[in-house]
Amino acid sequence: MSGVYKMVEIVGTSPVSFAEATKEAVKRAAKTIRHMGWFEVIEERGAIKDGAVAEFQVKLKVGFKLDE
């Protein structure tokens, strides 16, 4: 993976699962970041409402290559 990469940290949310929250975050980041190559899960949390899980939240670092 020669070159230099940048990491940005984002948080995705989903009512369904940690995997969906991850997908949401990456999809949104793709609107402004090109060349994303990988992600790393930093933290998993969520919201509870009326005694049930209402939202899965995943904090990610996303890595992408910088233009040379």
User: Which spans of this chain sit near its own copies (rule: CB under 8 A)?
Assistant: 1-13, 15-19, 22-30, 34, 36-41, 43-48, 51-53, 55-57, 59, 61-63, 66, 68
Among residues 48, 53, 52, 44, the alpha carbon closest in space to that of 18 is found at 44
Smallest gap from residue 32 Cβ to its own copies (A): 9
DSSP E strand stretches across 1-68: 5-14, 36-49, 52-65
Smallest gap from residue 17 Cβ to its own copies (A): 4
- Which phi and psi angles does 24 have, rounded to 5°? -60, -45
Smallest gap from residue 18 Cβ to its own copies (A): 6
